[in-house]
Structure 1
Amino acid sequence: MFIRLMKTRITFFCAILAVIQMVLLYMQGPVWTTKVSIESCEDSRSLEGNTTKMTWQEYEMLFKTSILQTTYNCKVIEEIGSAIRKNGEGVHSTCMNNVYKPRVPCIVYAFGMKTESHKRSGNLWFYNIGLRSVDSDNFTPHVDSYVNKSQIFTWKVRTLKSIMEMLGHTNITIDVLKMDIEGYEFDVLTTMMDDGTIKHVRQLLGEWHIRGDQRFEFSIKYFVAKRLLSYGFKTFNYNVVGRHGQCKKIYCLQANLGFVNTKFRK
């Protein structure tokens, strides 16, 4: 589970490398609930003259028909990443159309847990930090199948804005932001839209997860996704992932999604 963030046309780095740059982030995290209040996102519909709230099943249908659809024709798609895990996890479809194609050489940052911060190679750094919707040095994750073997009971987490500030990349264009954070993506995206960092993202990749009782928050997740589209993001690739082992007893929707920010075409 990781975030990959690439960066391009940055004068700060041009002064160092004199070329177009690319940045990559890596992180992992567990499932958690969405921070937006359900009441603030509730919609209503007219049924025989009466106004009623939509069910989560109706929001599920809206989500599948409006979000899990290709709305941008990317003519060149390449599978990028490492397939060291089973079922090819770690590889994600990336749009390589000229306007969105990341350029090399690149600078790479990786983020995750259980490993001390270190430099992995000439252009790859790892930081022991998680991505979240808030800044905290004592974040307590929800214990589930992703973290039940962890000996760490609190995590250091930061928003993407804070991570970019830490690295000296404030207001820098991100060529590709890649997230696989097991259910936290809706909170993180909401924060990115609230603080404006989403406007600096050229391409957004990752897994989206809705599991168990989160189905009752489908209205929230639908409106988060619709809000993302309002920033100019269009889906160039989607693929519904096969049923996870833990989904034998609970509701699950998991999909790989790839978006491009069409405002960068201007």
Structure 2
Amino acid sequence: MSETAISNFISKSTCHLKRRNVILASFFLAILAVTYIGIIFDSKITIKHYVDYLKFHPWTSAAAFRPSADCDLSSSWDTVLNSDTLTGAQVMQYFKWSNRQSCQLVQDFGGTMYKEPSGWDGQKSLCLDPEVAPVPGDCLVYSFGTNDEWSFDEQMSAYGCQVFAFDPSMMGEDHYDHNPGNVHFYKWGLGDRDRHDTDYNWEIRSLSSIYQTLAARHGRKIIDYLKIDIEGGEWDVITEMIASGMLSNVRQLGVEIHLVTNAPLEKYRDYAKLLRSMETMGMVRFDSEFNPWFMANFTRLPELGKQSQGYEIAWFNANLTRHPTGG
């Protein structure tokens, strides 16, 4: 082959290589561009969803709940519940709101297995994150509404807590120690003030009154878990706890709320705003479970269809979180 032919061959080959490299480079650049656009698009969607999520879920971890001067505890729920256009669906959504991301480890204690539908009823959720978890061997539990069903009390005793259980409707002695477990029973009902219920011959006492009486037995300790299941009486009790300051002495609170079915929307708004007032004071919701065996039609809100009349809701007190190293 002549030098001229070799030179032409090399020139053509180089040209083909350059063309192929340009095509390959263009191809890879196109792939990168599509990928980049996709990432940006997905990121915008993800960020939007995350921002929307935070509007109704302002808490992220137990460690973040220590009060500070610039801490804004309000959320979109305040706007929703104060709105002139509030709907029944919105207020029910507030009761259902679980805010589960506020606690990393949630465990249920107690409860009874039901069927149709199958599931646990009467269980109470505890946050076991170290900042708020009851300390085994040094924890205090008040349990109102035993109804001769001791699973919660016995399990909290097995966990390592001293448990005081209360129910005025139970037969038998007024005060005794329940076995098995470190459970002390008192035949007292929980109310917004001390009184005698003449209809049922029950002794009703406020939480602050009961605490003052029992402090001689357990000391003036924080109530690590307060369980309330008193068939509709919780609304007056919560109001009293806020007014008396007893709420500030409760580290975790588990309440089954009960909704009447014949009230106007404003009544349910009042219920929701009462719970919300606790949350703006530092009670952080970490669970809500509706009762599927307690369904009914709300007669003055027919657009809702059948809804649950009961919700098991749990909070921890941000003002009583411990430092990760203790305290």
TM-score range, shorter chain: 0.5 to 0.7
What aligned pairs does 1:31-180 form with structure 2 within 5 A after superposition? 54=84, 58=87, 61-62=90-91, 64-65=93-94, 68-70=97-99, 72-83=101-112, 87-105=119-137, 106-112=161-167, 113-115=169-171, 116-117=173-174, 118-121=176-179, 123-138=182-197, 140=199, 153-168=200-215, 172-180=221-229
- Match of 2:292, SS state, is coil
Superposition CA RMSD, Å = 2.8
Query: Which structure's residues are more often helix, by fraction?
Result: 2
- Match of 1:205, SS state, is strand
For residue 110 of structure 1, report the CA deviation from its aligned partner.
0.9
- Match of 1:206, SS state, is strand
For residue 257 of structure 1, report the CA deviation from its aligned partner.
0.9
- Structure 2 residue aligned with 1:218, among 253, 263, 268? 268
Tell me which residue corresponds to 1:257: 313
Q: Is structure 2 residue 292 aligned with structure 1 residue 233?
A: no
Structure 1: gaps (5+ residues): 1-42, 46-53, 141-152
Per-residue displacement from partner, 1:193-231 (whole Å, max 9, x unpaired)? 000000011111121111222455113212211211121
- Match of 2:256, SS state, is strand
Change (3 A) 1:100 1:44: closer
What aligned pairs does 1:9-28 form with structure 2 within 5 A after superposition? none
8 Å Cα contact 2:162-2:182 kept in structure 1: yes
Change (3 A) 1:156 1:111: same
8 Å Cα contact 2:252-2:315 kept in structure 1: yes
Change (3 A) 1:72 1:232: farther
Per-residue displacement from partner, 1:98-157 (whole Å, max 9, x unpaired)? 0111122321111112232212136211111111112112254xxxxxxxxxxxx23211
C-alpha distance in 1 between matches for 2:202 and 2:100:
37
C-alpha distance in 2 between matches for 1:243 and 1:215:
23
Per-residue displacement from partner, 1:240-264 (whole Å, max 9, x unpaired)? 221526x268675321111111122
Q: Under a length normalisation based on structure 2, what TM-score does the superposition of the two structures give?
A: 0.55
C-alpha distance in 2 between matches for 1:212 and 1:184:
15
C-alpha distance in 2 between matches for 1:188 and 1:253:
18
Structure 2: gaps (5+ residues): 1-80, 138-160, 300-306, 323-327
Change (3 A) 1:120 1:224: same
Runs of 4+ in 1 over 6 A off after TM superposition: none
8 Å Cα contact 2:91-2:268 kept in structure 1: no
Which of the pair has more CA radius of gyration? 2
For residue 167 of structure 1, report the CA deviation from its aligned partner.
0.5
Tell me which residue corresponds to 1:204: 253
Q: Under a length normalisation based on structure 1, what TM-score does the superposition of the two structures give?
A: 0.66
Change (3 A) 1:44 1:85: closer
C-alpha distance in 2 between matches for 1:44 and 1:235:
19
- Match of 2:253, SS state, is strand
Change (3 A) 1:63 1:191: farther
Q: Which has the larger displacement, 209-218 or 104-113?
A: 209-218
- Match of 2:87, SS state, is helix
Paired amino acid for 1:114: M
